[in-house]
Copies of this chain bind each other. A is one copy, B any other.
Amino acid sequence: MNSISLKETSYSILADIAKAIGHPHRLELLELVAQGPKSVDTLAREARMSFANTSQHLQRLKQFKLVKTKRDFTTIYYTIADDSIPMLIKYLHQTGFNLSQDFKHTLSSYRSNELIKTVSFEELESQEYILLDVREETEFNFGHRQGALNIPHTKIKSSLTKLDKSKLIVAYCRGELCSYADTVVQKLTDAGFNAVRLKDILMTKSA
């Protein structure tokens, strides 16, 4: 193999990976499985895609080795295949943010319009706050930010007594495109809490 065909082969492999993430559904599926093992049924529901379409996209991700599978009796769980993939998607978000005014502004103006404040760790400084992970318990167990309290977004209303009204509540979920933290911030604010959403995007297993 000479250096030209080597170059062509190598670029083709990289292009295949980029194509694998070059569809909105597959990007979302990857961000979901990065939070922990999930079944096809769970992924289809969370992402609001048809079952067959979800399975088709998962086959493509599997074909290019971005996901791997583990069967538990009749249920097949999909997981992220390598820790570099969430990093790659993080940089894709960064590039999207830098290149696309639509990407940059529609998210922030939506949150601004809904009166959802966002905050980064740097902005929090030494201020006292409760870090609230609103993902499912299985996702929290798979990996979460240090010091976070887990209250799944569906259970927030029935868990208000667990929270201290004197402290700032900083909620996060699966990434910047996940709206569960938005919903939680709104509900907590309505209930008299001082609640904001964490800005930092898609995290690795343990922060």
* A residues lining the B interface (CB < 8 Å): 1, 3-4, 6-19, 21-28, 48, 64-66, 81-85, 87-88, 91-96, 98-100, 102-103, 106-107, 110, 177-179, 182
26 A-B pairs within 8 Å (CB atoms) are namely: A1-B106, A1-B110, A3-B110, A3-B179, A4-B179, A6-B110, A6-B177, A6-B179, A7-B177, A8-B24, A9-B102, A13-B96, A13-B103, A14-B24, A14-B92, A15-B21, A15-B23, A15-B26, A16-B22, A18-B21, A19-B19, A65-B100, A84-B91, A85-B95, A87-B95, A88-B95
A22 / chain B contacts, CB cutoff of 8 Å:
15-16, 18-19, 22
What would 12 more interface pairs be, CB under 8 Å, given A1-B110, A17-B99? Answer: A1-B106, A6-B107, A6-B110, A6-B177, A10-B107, A11-B27, A15-B26, A16-B22, A17-B92, A17-B95, A18-B19, A91-B91
Say whether B94 contacts A84, CB under 8 Å. yes
